[in-house]
Structure 1
Amino acid sequence: MVEAATLRLTKPLLRRGPKGDGHAVMVLPGFMSDDPYNRSLLKFLGELGYRAHGWNLGRNLGPGNISLREIAAAVRRLERQSGGKVSLIGHSLGGIYAREIARENPGVVRQVITLGSPFGAGRDRGSNVHHLFKRLNPGREADPEHLARQEKLAVAPPVPTTSIYTRGDGIVNWRTSIQKKDHPETQNIEVPGSHCGLTHNPTVWYLIADRLRQPEDLWQPFNSRVFRHH
Structure 2
Amino acid sequence: MAQPAPRQSAQAQNQKPEQKQALHDGPPPNAWLLALEFRAFWEFGALLPAWPKLARAPRGDGHGVVVFPGLSANDGSTMPLRRYLDALGYATSGWKQGFNFGPRAGVLEAARAQVTRAFADSGRKVSLIGWSLGGVYARELAKEFPHMVRGVITLGTPFGGSHRSTNAWRIYELASGRKVALESANYDLPAAPPVPTTSIYSRSDGIVAWQGSVQKPAPHNPHTENVEVIASHVGLGVNPSAWWAVADRLAQAEGNWQAFERKGTFFHGLIYPDPARAA
TM over 0.5: yes
Partner of 1:137: 176
- Once residues 143 and 199 of structure 2 are traced to their aligned partners in structure 1, the CA distance between those partners, rounded to angstroms, is 15
Residue 208 (structure 1) aligned with residue 208 (structure 2)? no
Cα offset for 1:137? 2.3
Residue 171 (structure 1) aligned with residue 210 (structure 2)? no
Runs of 5+ in structure 2 lacking a partner? 1-40
Partner of 1:154: 190
Residue 195 (structure 1) aligned with residue 233 (structure 2)? yes
TM-score scaled by length of structure 2: 0.77
Runs of 5+ in structure 1 lacking a partner? none
Partner of 1:91: 131
Residue 54 (structure 1) aligned with residue 100 (structure 2)? no
Instruction: Call closer, same or farther: CA 1:215–1:142 in 2, change over 3 Å.
Output: closer
Residue aligned with 1:112, SS: strand
Cα offset for 1:66? 5.0
Check whether the contact 1:64–1:136 (CA below 8 A) recurs between aligned residues: no
Check whether the contact 1:163–1:179 (CA below 8 A) recurs between aligned residues: yes
- Once residues 255 and 90 of structure 2 are traced to their aligned partners in structure 1, the CA distance between those partners, rounded to angstroms, is 18
Partner of 1:116: 156
Cα offset for 1:65? 5.2
Q: CA RMSD in A?
A: 1.5
Cα offset for 1:176? 0.3
Partner of 2:260: 222
Amino acid at match of 1:99: R
Check whether the contact 1:24–1:86 (CA below 8 A) recurs between aligned residues: yes
Partner of 2:67: 27
Check whether the contact 2:172–2:180 (CA below 8 A) recurs between aligned residues: no
Does 1 or 2 have the higher relative contact order (CA < 8 Å, sep 6+)?
2
Residue aligned with 1:13, SS: helix
Choose which of 147, 155, 164 in structure 2 pairs with 1:125: 164
Partner of 2:53: 13
Number of equivalences: 226
My pick for the range that moved more, 24-33 or 74-83, is 74-83
Amino acid at match of 2:226: N
Residue aligned with 2:102, SS: coil
Cα offset for 1:146? 5.0
Residue 78 (structure 1) aligned with residue 118 (structure 2)? yes
Cα offset for 1:16? 2.5
> Which protein is bigger by CA-based radius of gyration?
2
